[in-house]
Amino acid sequence: MILRRTLLVACTAIAAAASMATTPAAARSRTGAAKPPRTDLHLAPAREQLAALRRRTTTSRALLEQYLQHIAKTNPGVNAVVTLDAEGARAAADRADRHLAATGKPLGALHGLPMTVKDALETKGLRTTCGSPDLAEHVPDQDADAVARLRAAGAVIVGKTNVPVMCQDIQTSNPVFGKTNNPHDHARTAGGSSGGPAAAVAAGLTSLEVGSDLAGSLRLPAAYCGVYALRPSGGIVPTRGHIPRPPGWLTSSDMLTLGPVARNAEDLDVLLDVLAAPAPAEAAAWQINLPAPKRGRLADYRVGVWQDDAYCHVDQGTRRLLEQVAELVRSAGATVDEATRPVNLADSDKLFQRLMYATAGATATDAGFADDIAAADKTPADSPGGLFLHSRTMRHRDWLRANEDREKLRGRWADYFATHDVLITPAAPTAAVDDQTSTPVPGRFITVDGEKRPYFDQTAWLNLAGHVKLPALVMPAGKTADGLPLAIQIIGPYLADRTVIDVAKHLARRLPEPVRPPALTD
């Protein structure tokens, strides 16, 4: 825990220094008197912060100092930000301010905006560990492609947020930095593997984050922490520089997607505009222009609502929430279909798992992979562990067959979206579950309406979109009797990312205000 203690010391020093920060050239009133700068701008939406920076009613340095002070106060109780680069961020903020003063033009869409990124994304000159003791002192010499896009757009990278070891859990804890707490209830998990990013956004430590999603790693933490997250359409955000794969690899899982986390749907749009781009090697010939939202009003949308399924039952509170959302959409005048199902949830989930386990085998050692092959030969495919072993070691021919099944599944989704614009589903069976860091993974479970259920049931609904390249958004839509956030998922057709965000915007205007954690209300 030496690294964590170092971070806490740094936060204390920042809190003392924050009061010495330079203030922006204040806006002038009609009488010519200077208006005092907002002291809580760091808790405003990213769009509002960016507008203030462009109007020069604040500076990047002043906004950064607000963030650093809030991080110093709040992060010790949440442990979301695990590597802090205050001096590097100050230098970047000052450069942004000098540029705007000299040219009158912003650096890009994120000009001067302080933000954090997931510790799975490599950052040039800034430690990137992916929660692994083996990488505890890994300092990349190159940014991940997505991080490079953030910097080119003018973002000020403040630090890195926590993950489980090598992103291989759905709660967030590791031996290097410890556990990230859910900002709403420290006894609950923040989810994983993007638990640090979601907790940081929920607690106001950053207004925007970049997380990654393979098996719900972006959306499950967003659901549990009460924020918004988008898994973009597969292939539209470059993934090179994400760990895992190991540092230096040029490829990543064909199911991995990077996406934005925010406290509202409008801010997802801001970051999606920056992230969605061809890989650098393809940028000379290709560009990505995502279609505009399908409809202009919620009343014009054709909405499917999938409230529950025998394969992965949700709890009573989540079922009630989906019923309320269906009624809300119907009352707005939209067409609501609660009967049809685009795919079989059980079959889709099994195919997802086969493809996920197969892609995970790429980085196994030769000796380890040989052991897996030997174990698979002795293990029936339908026994506990059989699906994992046989999928991880499948022959290339078997993978090609599985990939063919995936393409057929994509065709069924395309048929569904010919008559529906979006599908609304549960995000997870329950609100945030109890943290189980101290329990080995085989002994973990969740409880749904009093019934003990498998630990990985948490992601079954999220897995609907993961292997078929569909955009999927999670948003807060209600709360439990205990005040925990409850979320829904909105899935759209391939490349209809803006439609999915647009539906979330319409719903947000009609749903209750999201529950806010103590860090935003104290």
How do residues 207-240 score in pLDDT, each as one tens digit?
A: 999 999 999 999 999 999 999 999 999 999 999 9
Specify the pairing of strand 335-337 against strand 302-305.
parallel
What does the alpha-carbon distance between residue 423 and residue 363 come to, in Å, rounded to a whole number? 35
CATH code, 334? 3.90.1300.10
pLDDT digits (tens, 9 = 90+) for 366-406: 999 999 999 999 999 988 899 999 999 999 999 999 999 99
Contact 133, 164 (CB under 8 A): no
Residue 44, in any domain of the structure: no
Domain final residue, candidates 255, 282, 309: 282
Residue 482 clears pLDDT 70, i.e. is over it: yes
Residue whose entry in the numeric block shows the structure tokens 């031996």: 175
Number of domains the chain is built from: 2
Residue 522, in any domain of the structure: no
Same domain, yes or no: 435 and 507: yes
What does the alpha-carbon distance between residue 493 and residue 468 come to, in Å, rounded to a whole number? 10
Same domain, yes or no: 145 and 203: yes
Same domain, yes or no: 438 and 307: yes
What does the alpha-carbon distance between residue 195 and residue 216 come to, in Å, rounded to a whole number? 11
The DSSP output letter for 229 is E
Residue 242 clears pLDDT 80, i.e. is over it: yes
The one-letter amino acid code at 381 reads A
Residue 41, in any domain of the structure: no
Q: Name the token pair of 232.
A: 């973009």
Residue 293, in any domain of the structure: no
Dihedral, 94, 98, 104, 109 alpha carbons, nearest 10: -30
Same domain, yes or no: 106 and 223: yes
Residue 34, in any domain of the structure: no
Q: Name the token pair of 240.
A: 């090179």
For the segment 309-321, the average pLDDT, to the nearest whole number, is 98
3-class secondary structure, 342: coil
Domain final residue, candidates 223, 258, 282: 282
Contact 492, 417 (CB under 8 A): yes
Specify the pairing of strand 114-118 against strand 156-161.
parallel
Domain final residue, candidates 231, 247, 282: 282
Same domain, yes or no: 350 and 434: yes
Helix (H) or strand (E) holding 66: helix 60-78
Residue 289, in any domain of the structure: no
Same domain, yes or no: 326 and 243: no
Same domain, yes or no: 276 and 376: no
Dihedral, 160, 166, 169, 174 alpha carbons, nearest 10: -60
Contact 80, 180 (CB under 8 A): yes
Residue 37, in any domain of the structure: no
Same domain, yes or no: 332 and 365: yes
State which residues form the domain around 169: 2-26+52-282
**What is the pTM assigned to this prediction?**
0.93
Residue 62 clears pLDDT 60, i.e. is over it: yes
Specify the pairing of strand 485-491 against strand 472-479.
antiparallel
Distance from the Cα of residue 229 to its chain's centroid:
5
What does the alpha-carbon distance between residue 139 and residue 209 come to, in Å, rounded to a whole number? 20
pLDDT band for 258, please (50, 70, 90 cuts).
Answer: very high
Same domain, yes or no: 402 and 426: yes
Nearest to 66 by CA among 21, 111, 11: 21
Selected residue with higher pLDDT from 167 and 30: 167
Same domain, yes or no: 240 and 306: no
Same domain, yes or no: 252 and 332: no
What does the alpha-carbon distance between residue 160 and residue 317 come to, in Å, rounded to a whole number? 34
Residue 22, in any domain of the structure: yes
Same domain, yes or no: 265 and 343: no
